Amino acid sequence: MAPSKKKHANNKACVIPGGFTVLSLQFSASSAAQHKLYVKEHKVRAEKSSHRPLDRTLFVLNVPPYCAEHVVKRLFSQFGDVQSVELRDHPGSSKHLGPKLSRFFRPADKQGFKVGYIVFESPSSIAAAKSHPLSEPLVVSTEEHPVTTGVQKWIQQYTDSFVQPDHLQKIVDTFMEVHDKRKEEEAERQKREAELQQEDEEGWVKVTRGNKGTKARPHSEAANQKTLQKELRKKKRKELMNFYTWQHRNTQKEHIAELRKKFEEDKQRIALLRAQRKFRPY
């Protein structure tokens, strides 16, 4: 009875403080060493990205360097269909918020342990992954799906670094088309804002009525540029004084001389008033 209890205990999932479930990872079937992954359901209130649904996303810690995104997708596919896999150096917001860039325009990835976000097709896959027993390791490299490491991996990376000119030209053309389209949309938006906030000769701005329920339009870049140009025109109309240092110094000397002259005149006036107020009975 004792051995059966021990075997039954090993078939249970291992949950550690913090709500993380421990999964064993084995590089190959013949490997004696095992690696530990820590998985938990991704629940972040501030996460508003549609790329990480709160009910179908699994957060993974301690992903080793030899596990690429396609390897992680294959390992966790046994718990259900995987929609997407995202590996990052540190936990954070989704990197899909900006435009998707080719690998030629992205900085080189850091080599080291990573964190992962695995999005399943079904919410039941999260429970299946969290209930996986610790005694059944996930095998990374198999005969059907071998994973290269060491010198073989470096040779493969060096071979993959060579790109055909036609393929590279296609990637560059696609990137430039998206960039030009985005620039045209930005220029069109600024043009519309400039037309709405265009001033007439007397300085009046035409205000148009928007749709019902729309919020007030904030200050745009075009409006800020017009205000700045207006202020510069006002400054140009004014006379430029004390441009040089010697002009400023002479102005200060003249001002001090006028103050001294006025002080002497005030002293004489006060002395005269005192003399007039002196008591003379005879």
Contact in structure between 69 and 87 (CB atoms under 8 Å): yes
- Tell me the mean pLDDT in the region 54-81: 91
Distance CA 169, CA 187 (A): 27
Average pLDDT over the chain, rounded to an integer: 79
- pLDDT over threshold 90, residue 61: yes
Separation in Å, CA 101 to CA 83, 143, 238: 20, 33, 51
Rg (CA), the chain: 38
Element (H, E) at 130: helix 124-130
- Does 24 share its domain with 141? yes
- Does 7 share its domain with 142? yes
Last residue of a domain, one of 152, 174, 192: 152
DSSP per-residue string spanning 190-252: HHHHHHHT-B-TTS-B------TTPPPPPPPHHHHHHHHHHHHHHHHHS-----SHHHHHHHH
The answer to whether residue 79 sits within a structural domain is: yes
Contacts of 71 (CB under 8 A, 6+ apart): 140, 145, 147
Please tell me the least confidently modeled range out of 50-54, 66-70, 222-226: 222-226
The answer to whether residue 99 sits within a structural domain is: yes
Last residue of a domain, one of 101, 119, 152: 152
The answer to whether residue 282 sits within a structural domain is: no
The number of distinct structural domains making up the chain is 2
pLDDT number for residue 4: 44
The answer to whether residue 102 sits within a structural domain is: yes
Last residue of a domain, one of 152, 181, 214: 152
- Whether the full predicted model's pTM is greater than 0.75, yes or no, is no
Separation in Å, CA 7 to CA 12, 36, 133, 179: 9, 20, 11, 60
pLDDT number for residue 111: 77
CATH number where 27 lies: 3.30.70.330
Helix (H, G, I), strand (E, B) or coil at 23: strand
Distance CA 120, CA 122 (A): 5
pLDDT number for residue 5: 43
- Tell me the mean pLDDT in the region 238-253: 68
- Does 144 share its domain with 12? yes
Distance CA 1, CA 102 (A): 59
The backbone torsions φ and ψ at residue 74, rounded to the nearest 5 degrees and listed phi first, read: -70, -40
Burial of 144-158, coded b for 16+ CB within 10 Å and e otherwise, reads: eeebeeeeeeeeeee
The answer to whether residue 35 sits within a structural domain is: yes
- pLDDT over threshold 70, residue 205: no
Expressed as residue numbers, the domain containing 255 is 241-270
The answer to whether residue 177 sits within a structural domain is: no
Contact in structure between 13 and 21 (CB atoms under 8 Å): yes
Half-sphere exposure of 188 (CA within 13 A, CB side): 6
